[in-house]
Structure 1
């Protein structure tokens, strides 16, 4: 008698379109309607009942898979569903994908049970199904609780624990950073600023102002927090207030032939108010209350000024470049050379944030 080894394979088929409908929070009947409008029934010469049975079967699979999607590291290890690596990546990446308009409603708020219970309002306002809003809220809370106490890079920690792409991890990192530092995002002046705008600025701050910055002297802490030594040293730039006339002369000379005559005229009249705003915002970042109001202060004290000047983005960019690069020529920095890199580190990010927020406000 001959022994025969038999291996039975049962690869799980994932319909990406139906999976997306499930993620959107559509019911089986709603998903059937969407697919029927796409002509799926006619394309495969099927009946409505067959389509409904197929979608119901997919939904059942997704519901069973969800427990592993909540802990992505377990997905490759489980033996219930036979999934190739590309399918696993698709499942996880889409499960943790974010709707910017939904996340904008969460931004700056505590990820509490109270706020979760108010997601009906978010769903109605954004026209995103309640089930999808809850999934995104729960995903965000899960990511936050997993990485908030971990040392090192937020983005790398999120990628490691949740197996998502770098771009998506950067979005989650921005949310964790903004939430952890309690940045104000809900004031009336900020309502037009999108989640993508906040995320851009938050990632710039993490790169240049947090403990993971190349300029940070202590990389052992986590970049969910700002580099306190940097913020403390930044307070010394208040001494620049005594050099406003000197700085104005240097900057105006530098940009005279590089910006429009109207922009130059506005700069000549308003240089001191712009410079004072930049200095004061940096000086106050050491205090949690002022840090919390960073975005509001940038809009009110800098962006609104530039919008009033009607400067182009090119003129604004040229000014900030000259404003930062010429600072080293000031007598103040010649007497305090150790502060030059602190100032440049601060202005590099402020420059990028201002440009982004100006474009968002246009």
Structure 2
């Protein structure tokens, strides 16, 4: 009698290309036509019927996985679909990836069932299939609902509950932060700003202006909220707008810029200094009010970047000005009477500077 070793396995095989087509909103029939046009049938020398049958099998697998993907830790713990850890991570990461053009359209909208109906318009505008737009909207809504009231770091909470990479978690964190603070992003005046612009600025605000900031003295609150104590302190920066302080600051800045800027650029900055300084300080003081918080990107564009671009200042000119504006004021007497405001000033300006330079599209 001959001994025979038998091994039976149920390892789940996922066709990466078909998974991508499914995520992109292709139906099984559309995926078959796509593969037919790409020449796969001729290369593999198989019939359309066999290919379509295989696609249907894969799609049934994807739809089965989707229920678990809505709560990624369940996919890791289940035993039905046998996959190694790397495959699990790839499937999750790809499911939660999104098209920046789609999310740019969603930014600023309330993540509600009513706005989900607008995905038809988003699909038409972006030319991304409606199924994919709805999946992306649902993912954003799900992540937002999960972490909006959690204590601690947004990024870490998202990584823990959705098992996403650092980079993707940071993008979701920025989206959640923008949605929670109801930042205005949809006005025509902001149409030139990209999704990446908003993500960069939001992450800077999370790092420096939220309760997770290293400068924050109260860490028992949520990362998704701006530090109210910091916003309250910002009102004291109004003293910088007083005429004597303003004139002294202007002199310091222009003198500081002499070695690095052309005479023309210095002249433009000298003439516009009062308006530029007023805009920067008014934005700081206004952040204590929810409406002004919502309009921060509108204010940055209307009151800071547009006037400077119209005056012909380059990005490097603007960077030199903001550095001088931030650094020279610490030498002035105004802060000697209120030394604690130096930290507030630095915390505010280092973020404002980075945000302005990011959206300064010349």
Superposed pair shares fold, TM > 0.5? yes
User: How far did 1:15 drift?
Assistant: 1.1
The answer as to 2:268 corresponding to 1:266 is: yes
The residue that corresponds to 1:179 in the other structure is 179
The residue that corresponds to 2:294 in the other structure is 292
Residue by residue, what CA displacement relative to the aligned partner does 1:25-45 show, whole Å, maximum 9, x if unpaired? Answer: 101121112222322112222
Give matches, 1:30-49, under 5 Å.
30-49=30-49
CA distance in 1, matches of 2:199, 2:109: 15
CA distance in 1, matches of 2:35, 2:7: 36
The answer as to 2:326 corresponding to 1:324 is: yes
Structure 1: segments with no counterpart, 5+ residues: none
Greater mean deviation of Cα atoms: 265-274 or 308-317: 308-317
The answer as to 2:343 corresponding to 1:341 is: yes
Secondary structure of 2:237's aligned partner:
helix
The answer as to 2:116 corresponding to 1:131 is: no
What is the number of equivalent residue pairs in this alignment? 360
User: How far did 1:136 drift?
Assistant: 0.8
Give matches, 1:141-152, under 5 Å.
141-152=141-152
CA distance in 1, matches of 2:7, 2:81: 15
Residue by residue, what CA displacement relative to the aligned partner does 1:14-69 show, whole Å, maximum 9, x if unpaired? Answer: 11111000001101121112222322112222122222112111111111111111
The residue that corresponds to 1:89 in the other structure is 89
The residue that corresponds to 1:108 in the other structure is 108
The answer as to 2:22 corresponding to 1:29 is: no
User: How far did 1:309 drift?
Assistant: 2.0
User: How far did 1:5 drift?
Assistant: 9.5
User: How far did 1:285 drift?
Assistant: 0.2
The residue that corresponds to 2:213 in the other structure is 213
Contact kept in structure 2, 1:263 and 1:309, CA below 8 Å: no
User: How far did 1:6 drift?
Assistant: 6.4
Residue by residue, what CA displacement relative to the aligned partner does 1:194-216 show, whole Å, maximum 9, x if unpaired? Answer: 22111111110000000000000
Following superposition, which runs of at least 4 residues in structure 1 exceed 3 angstroms of deviation? 3-7
The residue that corresponds to 2:310 in the other structure is 308
**Alignment TM-score, normalising by the size of structure 2:** 0.96
Secondary structure of 1:316's aligned partner:
helix
Contact kept in structure 2, 1:193 and 1:357, CA below 8 Å: yes
User: How far did 1:192 drift?
Assistant: 2.0
Residue by residue, what CA displacement relative to the aligned partner does 1:286-321 show, whole Å, maximum 9, x if unpaired? Answer: 000111110001100001111112222111111111
CA distance in 2, matches of 1:199, 1:137: 17
The residue that corresponds to 2:202 in the other structure is 202
Structure 2: segments with no counterpart, 5+ residues: none
User: How far did 1:150 drift?
Assistant: 0.6
The residue that corresponds to 1:119 in the other structure is 119
CA distance in 2, matches of 1:35, 1:29: 10
Secondary structure of 1:335's aligned partner:
coil
Give matches, 1:351-362, under 5 Å.
351-359=353-361, 362=362
Residue by residue, what CA displacement relative to the aligned partner does 1:125-175 show, whole Å, maximum 9, x if unpaired? Answer: 111111111111111111011101110000110010000111111111111
The residue that corresponds to 1:254 in the other structure is 256
The residue that corresponds to 2:281 in the other structure is 279
**Alignment TM-score, normalising by the size of structure 1:** 0.96
User: How far did 1:110 drift?
Assistant: 1.1
The residue that corresponds to 1:193 in the other structure is 193
Taking structure 1 as reference, are residues 35 and 352 closer, same or farther at Cα in structure 2, changes over 3 Å only?
same
User: How far did 1:7 drift?
Assistant: 5.3
Secondary structure of 2:324's aligned partner:
helix
CA distance in 1, matches of 2:118, 2:322: 42
Greater mean deviation of Cα atoms: 199-208 or 52-61: 52-61
User: How far did 1:121 drift?
Assistant: 1.2
Greater mean deviation of Cα atoms: 42-51 or 84-93: 42-51
The residue that corresponds to 1:166 in the other structure is 166
User: How far did 1:4 drift?
Assistant: 10
Root mean square deviation, CA, Å: 1.7
CA distance in 1, matches of 2:109, 2:233: 30
